[in-house]
Structure 1
Amino acid sequence: MENKIRVIVADDHACVRMGVRCLLEQIAHVSVAGEAVNTQALAELLDACACDVVVTDIGMPGIDGESNAIQFLRRLLYHTPQLPVVVLTMIHQPSILMGLLQHGVAAIVDKRDITASLVHAIDAALTGQGYLSNHARAAIAKAGTPQPRAGVMSAGEWKVFTMYVSGLTIGQIAARLNRSAKTISTQKRNAMRKLGLETEADVIDYACQIGLT
C-alpha cells in the first residue's frame, strides 16, 4: 500500500519497542520509519528520517542530563506543532496527562491499552483529532477537571526538583548549588506547583512514574 503512515517509535525499553513494531507491522497502512532508545536518539532520528507521527514514552533519559523526555517534547511541540505526537506511557497522574495535552500532544495511550488503542491513536493524531485510551481517559475523569499547570519549569527549578527526589535535603542542595536554602525551597515549591503536585506523597508518586527514583 502506498502512502503509508510513517511512524517513529521511541522508548528506552527494548521489549516495548519490539512490541510496538510487531503490532504496527500488522497494520497495512502503517510503517515503522525508525526506533529511538532515548531523546538524544529521537532528536537525531527526526533530523535524519521523514515521519508522519511520533510515538514516544516520556520516561526515557533526556537530553542535557534531563531525567525524562517531557522537556524535550515541549520543545519539539513548540517548534514543530505540525508533527503529531502520541505519548505511550504508564503515568496516570491527571495533572501530568492534562499538561501533555495542553502542550500539544495529539494523543495519550496508557501502556495497558496499547494493543486496542495505539493504531486508533495514530490515525486520530494524523487527522488532527485528540485521542485518549481508556485508562488515560479514566485517570483524567477521576480527577474531575484539573486546573491547568501554571507555566513551564525553568532549567533551575527542574534541577532542584530532580536533586530533591534523588534524596538530597534542601540544605544539601543549597550547599551544592551555592544558593540560599530559601531560594532552593522556593524553586522546589514552584516545580511542584507547575507539575500539579500538592503533597510529598504526590512528589514520590510522580518521581516513580517517570523513573526518577
Structure 2
Amino acid sequence: MTDKIRVIVADDHDCVRVGVTRLLQATSKIEIVGQAADTQGLAELLDICECDVVISDIGMPGLDGGSNAVSFLRRVLRGRAHPPVVVLTMICHAHMLSGLLHLGVSAIVDKRDTTAALIDAIRAAMSGGVYLSDRVRNVLEISETPPQLRASVLSAREWEVFQLYTQGLAVHEIAKRLERSGKTISTQKRTAMRKLGLETESDLIEYARQIGLV
C-alpha cells in the first residue's frame, strides 16, 4: 500500500490524544487528518475530513449532553459507507467489550497496550479484520460467561434508560421525562443490566464508572 492511511484520533484526555498522535506520526504510512476532544468534535471532523480509520475512546463527552460516545459510534457504524473504528479504552468488562465487537468496531485496544498494539490494530482494520490487544483478549478469554455478542448489545432505548439511571434519576423520574410507564422503564433497566452481566446496584455503578458515565 503506497498511500498513507488517514486517521482521526478522538480522546478527551490531552495526554492520551497527544501520545497516540505522536506515535502514529512516527509511522511513515500514517497521516493524522484530525483530532477531537469529545464526540461533538469527532462528528464535525467526520463531516469535513476524509479518513480511512477512526481511533476513538468511548468514555468521553457525548452528543446532546451525554457522557459516552457509544451511541454516536453506533450511528456511524450503521452508515452505508463508514471508516473502520478502532476503540481505545481502559474498559475491562467482558460484556461491554463483546458488545462493542457486535456493534461493528474493527479493533479494541486497551490503553495499556497502546504502543505495541495500535499499529497492528490499524492494519487489521484496513484489511477488514478484527483485532484485540492482549489485555482485551485476556479479559474475554477468562470471562466466566462466554461473550454473547448479539445479546450483550443494548438497544437505543435501553441505553438511554441506563444512562439516565446512572445519572441519579429514579425509575419514576425517568418514566416522566421519557413519557413512558414506570413498568416499561423498570423492564428496560433490568434488561440492560442483564445484557451487561450486572447483577447488583454496586455492579451497575462500578460499570458506569469504568466507561465514564459517573
TM-score of the two chains, using structure 1 as the length reference: 0.90
Aligned to 2:68: 68
Where structure 2 has 5 or more consecutive residues not aligned to the other structure, the ranges are: none
Q: Could you give the per-residue CA deviations for residues 11-33 of structure 1, whole angstroms, max 9, x where no partner exists?
A: 11111110001111111111111
AA paired with 1:51? C
Q: Which residue of 1 aligns with 2:163?
A: 162
How far did 1:189 drift?
1.1
Corresponding position of 1:33: 33
Question: Per-residue CA shift, 1:27-51, capped at 9, x if unaligned?
Answer: 1111111101111111111111111
TM-superposed deviation, 1:156 = 4.0
Give unmatched runs, 5+ long, in structure 1.
Answer: none
CA contact (8 A) 2:102 2:153 kept: no
Report the equivalent of 1:200: 201
C-alpha separation between the residues in 1 aligned to 2:109 and 2:17?
14
Provide closer, same or farther for how the CA distance between residues 104 and 91 of structure 1 changes in structure 2, counting only shifts above 3 A.
Answer: same
1:171-210 to structure 2, matched below 5 A, reads 171-174=172-175, 176-177=177-178, 179-210=180-211
CA distance in 2, matches of 1:86, 1:118: 9
Pairing 1:48-87 to 2, within 5 Å after superposition: 48-80=48-80, 82-87=82-87
Distance 1:177 1:73 in 2: 23
Kept in 2, the 8 Å contact 1:149–1:196? The answer is no
Cα deviation, residue 169, structure 1? 2.9
3-state SS, counterpart of residue 105 of structure 2: coil
Q: Are 1:131 and 2:131 an aligned pair?
A: yes
The match for 2:115 is 115
The one-letter code matched in structure 1 to 2:208 is A
What is the alpha-carbon root mean square deviation over aligned residues?
2.1
Residue 146 of structure 1 corresponds to: 147
Supply the distance in 2 between the matched residues of 1:197 and 1:149 (Cα, whole angstroms).
16
What secondary structure, in the 3-state scheme, does the structure 2 residue paired with 1:184 have?
helix
What's the CA shift for 1:151? 7.1
C-alpha distance in 1 between matches for 2:171 and 2:2: 57
Equivalences, count: 213
